């Protein structure tokens, strides 16, 4: 980076200077990523019930915003130099660019072996990968300037670098923003999952289904499931958890299972025991959840009961619809 700044000033090359700025963000991104990983590894304590796992998402968002700011600056400078191009020393640019390609090939290879399912690690990787592409563009621009004397090639290379920064920065800000806004993980459809749960035997309704991501690779789900009056709530819960684990890789699920009243969900006028309103016309389902969120998924209440064959017993002798596993597969 220091070499690029010195030679960039001597050669009047915006491509080299812009790439040096990108390398500075590379260094900061790696330091920030390492610090975030160390913080995120701390166990949950006090008011931080999930721990500090989202420190990695903060790191990814900072990296993304930095890339966007740099893209704006170098985009402006690139356009200015297209209009009024300075004299650029092409040979200096070529030599420096070739050295940068060699260094960044090694760096990219090393970071590519890390677990890139983490947005934090992916952010650091994108910084280094973009720097490699930037060195390639800078070297090609240097060759053009050296052979033809067309100095605008240097500004075009700087604009290519800015475009790469813009693309990567936007992706990081968008993906980290989805985590902060509690959006469903990419590729998971909450409505489809709700319908799958509602299709299980003895399930009458699913509502208040929430699906979010605590941090990269850590999806979580909560839902309120109503079952037929004769259903085994424990068995249904195990069946729901098994479905979420097998089909969607969701191991952190909190499922509340309740029976519907014998006279069904709609049109119930009798008051619940202890209700302050003796003739409440609202369905009992609504009084379970005073403010239900999201769509309601209705199941077939006439479905066959969950198997009670001895081979499908869960620990404690309760029946299950699927092979049992711990209630919280990965407690964190």
Per-residue pLDDT tens for 268-278?
334 444 444 44
DSSP state of 104: H
**9-37 burial code (b ≥16 CB/10 A, e <16):** eebbbbbbbbbbbbbebbeebbebbeebb
Q: Name the one residue in this structure whose structure tokens are 């309740």.
A: 258
What distance in Å separates the CA atoms of residue 98 and residue 143, rounded to the nearest whole number? 11
* Residue 234 confidence (pLDDT) above 90: yes
Mean pLDDT calculated for residue range 300-322: 42
What is the length of the chain? Answer: 332
Any idea which fold 2-180 has? Answer: Alpha-lytic protease prodomain-like (1.20.1510)
Distance set, CA 218 to CA 32, 249, 314 (Å): 21, 9, 26
What is the pLDDT at residue 177?
A: 92
Are the C-beta atoms of residues 224 and 289 closer than 8 Å to each other? yes
Half-sphere exposure of 42 (CA within 13 A, CB side): 15
Q: Crossing angle, helix 119-148 and helix 55-83, to 10 degrees? A: 20
Question: Domain extents for the chain?
Answer: 2-180, 190-319
**Closest of 240, 246, 245, 248 to residue 187, by C-alpha:** 248
**85-100 burial code (b ≥16 CB/10 A, e <16):** beebbbebbbebbeeb
Q: How confident is the model at residue 314 (pLDDT cuts 50, 70, 90)?
A: very low
pLDDT digits (tens, 9 = 90+) for 53-99: 888 888 888 888 988 988 898 889 889 888 888 787 888 888 888 98
Cβ-based neighbour number of residue 235 at 10 Å: 26
Mean pLDDT calculated for residue range 282-307: 59
* Residue 47 confidence (pLDDT) above 60: yes
- Paired with 210 in beta bridges are 222
What is the pLDDT at residue 217?
A: 81
Among the ranges given (245-249, 250-254, 294-298), the one the predictor scored with the smallest mean pLDDT: 294-298
The CATH number given to 190-319 is 3.30.300.30
318-319/218-227 β-pairing:
unpaired
**Closest of 76, 77, 69 to residue 28, by C-alpha:** 69
Tell how far CA 276 is from the center of its chain.
44
């Amino acid at each position: 980076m220091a070499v690029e700044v010195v030679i960039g000033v001597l050669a009047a090359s915006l491509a080299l200077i812009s790439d040096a700025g990108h390398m500075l963000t590379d260094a900061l991104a790696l330091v920030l990523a390492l610090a975030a990983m160390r913080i995120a590894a701390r166990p949950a304590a006090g008011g931080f019930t999930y721990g500090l796992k989202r420190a990695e998402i903060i790191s990814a968002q900072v990296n993304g915003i930095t890339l966007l700011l740099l893209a704006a600056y170098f985009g402006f400078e690139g356009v200015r130099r297209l209009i009024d191009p300075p004299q650029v020393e092409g040979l200096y640019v070529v030599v420096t660019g070739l050295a940068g390609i060699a260094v960044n090939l090694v760096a990219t290879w090393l970071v590519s072996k890390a677990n890139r399912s983490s947005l934090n690690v992916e952010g650091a990787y994108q910084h280094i990968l973009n720097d490699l592409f930037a060195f390639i563009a800078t070297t090609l621009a240097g060759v053009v300037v050296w052979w033809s004397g067309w100095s605008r090639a240097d500004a075009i290379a700087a604009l290519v670098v800015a475009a790469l920064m813009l693309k990567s920065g936007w992706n990081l800000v968008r993906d980290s923003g989805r985590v902060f806004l509690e959006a469903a993980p990419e590729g998971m459809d909450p409505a489809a999952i709700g319908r799958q749960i509602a299709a299980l035997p003895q399930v009458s309704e699913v509502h208040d289904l929430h699906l979010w991501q605590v941090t990269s690779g850590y999806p979580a789900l909560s839902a309120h499931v109503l079952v037929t009056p004769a259903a085994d709530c424990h068995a249904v819960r195990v069946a729901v958890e098994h479905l979420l684990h097998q089909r969607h890789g969701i191991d952190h699920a909190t499922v509340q299972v309740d029976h519907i009243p014998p006279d069904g969900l709609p049109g119930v006028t009798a008051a619940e025991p202890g209700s302050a309103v003796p003739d409440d016309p609202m369905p009992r389902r609504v009084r379970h959840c005073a403010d239900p969120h999201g769509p309601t998924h209705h199941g077939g209440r006439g479905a066959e009961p969950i198997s009670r064959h001895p081979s499908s017993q869960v620990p404690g002798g309760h029946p299950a619809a699927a092979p049992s596993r711990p209630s919280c597969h990965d407690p964190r």
